[in-house]
Amino acid sequence: MRQVIHLMPYDGIGGVEQAAATAEGARRGDLVLARMFVFERVRDRSGRWATFDPRILWAAAGRLTRAAPDLVILSLWRSILVGGLARLRGCRAPMVLFLHNVRDAHAVDRIVTRVAARRVAAVWADSAASLQQRLPRPPSVPTRVISYQLCRAELTCDVDSNPEPRLIFWGRLAAQKDPLRMLAIFAELHALRPDAKLTVIGPDGGEEAALRIEIARRGLEHAVTLTGPLPREQIATTAAYASFYLQTSRYEGMALSVMEAMQMGLVPVVTPVGEIVRYSVDGQSAIWIPVDGDARTTVARIAALLDEPDAWRSMRSAALVALGDRPLYAQDVMAAADEVLAGSNRVRVLKG
């Protein structure tokens, strides 16, 4: 049995971790996939300070080397550092760099990502946008966009239901998601429809305090609920009572939560960034928020759908089928891993 290890910093609730969790134990022939984490679960923002301890990175490199994998997948910059240290500790497995966003987190991320792109066996990405924007100069190694479809469409509400002014968001409350703009759009809708409700699901990524202050300033405590992080099953249950998914990201890669929302039968109201522009169509399967536009334009379009249930149902139906028949994430990762290993074996034969 050959082992593929997907190395990540910690077991969080982001798109990287959610996707990897669905592939845990996946098999393809004699290949099996396992996850490994550099750190124990980091539960809050303050806990991330421990992730800067170089001793932990060195110890993780030792664990990875002792596991003797046949292939290592490196996600996010700390894992790249551990992969490099594992080389020093004797790990000889081919490694893959996996990109999950269109932007570098910071200067260190930028440096280690570009160095790794020249030294790995292959580069994968969650989207064409991530691959093109993170590495504008194509690497010399093979590249591949991995399907981020985690499951088939699963309508969570009554197929004949009428739209309600209920909106939902799930994801990290970080600057990338621009939750204050999300609230501004909702506030405009609430002024028009006082029965409107917004549920915000996810951990603090640095913006929760500012969001709570703004909710109080606008007097929306009764209309906006912040739940904190929830398991995927509970997110689906909560989403069954919503009609729209609202996300105002400044930038994205694949935007997994948008894909999930579309498969649950929610009409996405989203900024057209990253891969979102490739799998959704404004006015057909989504409402695109103008990047620099007035919130009132977006609110008017939401209100129009609330007044025209057939139009909302038509958009929901288009969203449900928008992703097409892509391979599931676990299947695509294992096929890509098999391909990398076959290529590495050919190289060894040529050298030998």
pLDDT for position 351:
44
- Least-confidence region, from 175-189, 197-211, 323-337: 323-337
- Strands (DSSP E) contained in the chain are 2-8, 27-28, 31-37, 71-75, 95-99, 122-125, 143-145, 166-170, 197-201, 224-228, 244-247, 267-270, 287-288
- pLDDT tens digit string along 205-262? 899 999 999 999 999 999 999 999 998 889 999 999 999 999 999 999 889 999 999 9
Taking only the tens place, the pLDDT of each residue in 287-330 is 999 977 778 899 999 999 999 999 999 999 999 988 877 888 99
Residue-wise pLDDT for 85-131, tens only, equals 999 999 999 999 999 998 998 999 999 999 999 999 999 999 898 99
Helices 15-23 and 256-263 meet at what angle, rounded to 10? 60
Mean pLDDT of the chain: 90
Residue among 22, 188, 7 nearest 96 (CA)? 7
Closest CA to 266 of 238, 283, 245: 245
- Binned at pLDDT 50, 70 and 90, residue 349 comes out as very low
Enter the pTM of the model. 0.82
Share above pLDDT 90 across residues of the chain, in percent, rounded to a whole number: 73
What's the rounded Cα separation, in Å, for the pair 351 and 163?
A: 63
